């Protein structure tokens, strides 16, 4: 007789669990036959005692198989990317159309903002009419026709993870490499991928602030995803300052469109995007080496093919047909937009990136509670980066807010997040490791 309490006891005592026991336990999470108490006890036992790689693979595959697993019959590789989150991280909006223009198919399952970090779905919802929750049939049609579709997780994808995550959140078991790995990959692998690239952030604007933490998570995800049959690599990238010049939903969409049109406002953003896309093309067999991959990506960008794919995706998912031609006519605009001047001149030596993200939340662009309604127009733009000079002609950035009072509060928060010095300092390495 199979008893869930015996599975919990074995993990509590530090024993490795059999794959069959993990599969049955996860099935019980998904179908509701296990109580919240049993699920919480299991999560805490894993949190304290940990899992080996074989257990992590079994847990991830069970999460994947707890709901619908997509399958595809398309003439190219099925690829996706996942980021652990940051500030000004709009890479998904660029990467999906770039890869589609190079022959990939990208069913990108994305999420909403969490804490101080922005969410891709929130950004896309600033586009009028964009449907982040299409039917499975519409998703398949858009991916087949356009080559990419960025959407939210459906109810049928990895339902066990949804329940387990809620219980982890209220029982102090979120910060587990084992459970984080299974949570990320359960959803991603349910999308039926051939190739996955991970962007694991580290620095003061990342959840994994310390490089050792980021490397541990990246190594776990790479080992488990490859063990589950999906060709996966991870880049560890810097989040000690915002990635883009913008932080805020509609503002980041505007910057993404500008970049796809050829205007690189942030070399950091473009460099990480190209690094991730280069890895995907070589892993997918669409390029023989990094140099050939970069040539393909630059052609897709400079020819306008990537911009066209983004425009087609927006239109196919309900957005304006002329969105990329006239994004400013469609994106919401804040009532107040003013420059944020530094109290003194100098070079930027440090940015508290998490504080910048929290300032966006305070403006109304992020959630303090899960049911908060966002103001998609607010945030910051034209942000100064580390090593750049600010003075009477160059502000720290622009704040976009609903009222003059909120604009002043946002400006004060941005000033507090910046440190200035007399000499220009080099920024930290952008790509810190590849696993």
Is 126 tagged catalytic?
no
Eight-state DSSP code of residue 109: E
Residues 76-106 pLDDT 10s: 999 999 998 899 999 999 999 999 999 999 9
Domains of the chain listed by start with CATH number: 4-50 (1.20.970.10), 79-316 (3.40.1030.10), 332-421 (3.90.1170.30)
> Which whole number is the average pLDDT over 367-391?
89
Of 225, 197, 193, nearest to 70 by C-alpha is 193
Which one from 66, 84, 117, 120 is the annotated catalytic residue? Answer: 120
C-alpha 282/C-alpha 270 separation (Å) is 18
Q: Which two tokens stand for residue 36?
A: 């919240």
**Which residue of the set 183, 202, 237, 246 is catalytic?**
183
The residue from 80, 89, 178, 238 that is catalytic is 80
Q: Write down the pLDDT at residue 315.
A: 98
Asked about 188 being catalytic, the answer comes back as: yes
Full strand arrangement of the beta sheet holding 418-421:
389-390, 346-351, 418-421
Q: What is the pLDDT of residue 370?
A: 63
pLDDT in tens, 60-77: 999 999 999 999 999 999
User: CA angle at residue 165 from 353 to 120, to 5 degrees?
Assistant: 45
- If pLDDT is split at 50, 70 and 90, which confidence band does 1 have? confident
- pLDDT(115) > 70: no
Q: What is the pLDDT of residue 230?
A: 96
Name the band, by pLDDT with cuts 50, 70 and 90, for residue 373: confident
Overall average pLDDT of the 214-220 stretch: 95
Residue of 11, 112, 116, 187 marked catalytic: 187
162 in catalytic set: no
Active-site residue flag, 325 = no
For 123-178, the pLDDT digits (tens) are 999 999 999 999 989 999 999 999 999 998 777 889 999 899 888 878 888 789 99
Examine the residue annotation and report whether 81 is marked as an active-site residue of this protein.
yes
What integer pLDDT is reported at residue 179 of this predicted model?
Answer: 94
Q: Among 11, 56, 81, 215, which one carries the catalytic annotation? A: 81
pLDDT at position 175, please?
Answer: 80
Question: What is the band of 109 on the pLDDT scale with cuts at 50, 70, 90?
Answer: confident
CB-count burial class (<10 Å; 0-12, 13-18, 19+) for 149: buried
DSSP assignment letter at 39: H
Over the Cα atoms of the chain, what is R_g?
A: 22
Two tokens, residue 244: 């883009």
* Residue 187 is a catalytic residue: yes
Rounded to 5 degrees, what are φ and ψ at 255? -70, -35
Catalytic residue among 11, 123, 188, 330: 188
DSSP assignment string, 299-352: HHHHTTHHHHHHHHHHHHTTS-TTTTTSHHHHS---SEEEEE--SS-EEEEEE-
Distance CA 260, CA 147 (A): 16
pLDDT tens sequence across 23-33: 999 999 999 99
Q: What is the mean pLDDT of residues 395-399?
A: 98
- Which is catalytic among the residues 11, 56, 64, 82? 82
**Are the CB atoms for 262 and 301 separated by under 8 Å?**
yes
Q: Which residue in 168, 215, 347, 400 is the catalytic one?
A: 168
pLDDT in tens, 330-347: 999 999 999 999 999 999
Q: Is position 49 annotated as part of the catalytic site? A: no
Tokens of 18: 């059999």
Q: Which of 83, 110, 181, 237 is catalytic?
A: 83
Decide the pairing of beta strands 336-340 and 397-401: antiparallel
């Amino acid at each position: 007789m199979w008893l869930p309490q015996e599975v919990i006891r074995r993990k509590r005592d530090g024993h490795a669990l059999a794959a069959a026991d993990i599969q049955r336990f996860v099935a019980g999470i998904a179908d509701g036959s296990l109580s919240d108490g049993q699920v919480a006890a299991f999560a805490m036992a894993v949190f304290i005692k940990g899992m080996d790689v074989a257990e992590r693979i079994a847990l991830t595959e069970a999460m994947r198989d707890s709901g619908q697993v997509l399958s595809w019959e398309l003439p190219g590789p099925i690829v996706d990317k996942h980021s652990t989150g940051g500030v000004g991280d709009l890479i998904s909006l660029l990467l999906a159309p770039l890869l589609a223009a190079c022959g990939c198919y990208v069913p990108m399952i994305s999420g909403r903002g969490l804490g101080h970090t922005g969410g891709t779905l929130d950004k896309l919802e600033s586009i009028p009419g964009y449907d982040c929750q299409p039917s499975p049939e519409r998703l398949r049609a858009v991916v087949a026709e356009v080559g990419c579709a960025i959407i939210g997780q459906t109810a049928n994808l990895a339902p066990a993870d949804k329940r387990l995550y809620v219980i982890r959140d209220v029982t102090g078991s979120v910060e587990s490499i084992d459970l984080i790995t299974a949570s990320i990959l359960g959803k991603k692998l349910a999308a039926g991928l051939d190739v996955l690239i991970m962007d694991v952030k580290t620095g003061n604007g990342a959840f994994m602030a310390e490089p050792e933490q980021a490397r541990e998570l990246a190594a776990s995800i790479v080992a488990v995803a490859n063990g589950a049959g999906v060709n996966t690599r991870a880049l560890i990238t810097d989040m000690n300052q915002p990635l883009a010049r913008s932080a805020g939903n509609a503002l980041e969409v505007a910057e993404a469109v500008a970049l796809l049109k050829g205007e690189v406002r942030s070399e950091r953003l473009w460099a990480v995007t190209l690094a991730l896309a280069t890895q995907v093309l070589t892993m997918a067999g669409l390029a023989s080496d990094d140099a050939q991959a970069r040539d393909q990506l630059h052609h897709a960008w400079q020819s306008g093919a990537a911009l066209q794919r983004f425009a087609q995706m927006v239109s196919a998912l309900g957005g304006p047909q002329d969105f990329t031609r006239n994004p400013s006519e469609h994106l919401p605009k804040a009532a107040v937009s003013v420059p944020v001047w530094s109290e003194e001149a100098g070079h930027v030596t440090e940015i508290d990136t998490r504080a910048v993200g929290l300032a966006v939340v305070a403006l109304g662009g992020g959630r303090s509670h899960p049911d908060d309604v966002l103001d998609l127009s607010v945030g910051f733009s034209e942000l100064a980066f580390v090593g750049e000079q600010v003075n009477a002609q160059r502000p720290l950035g622009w704040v976009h807010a609903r009222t003059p009072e909120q604009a002043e509060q946002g400006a004060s928060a941005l000033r507090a997040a910046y440190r200035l010095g007399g000499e220009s300092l080099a920024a930290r390495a952008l790509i810190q490791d590849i696993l």
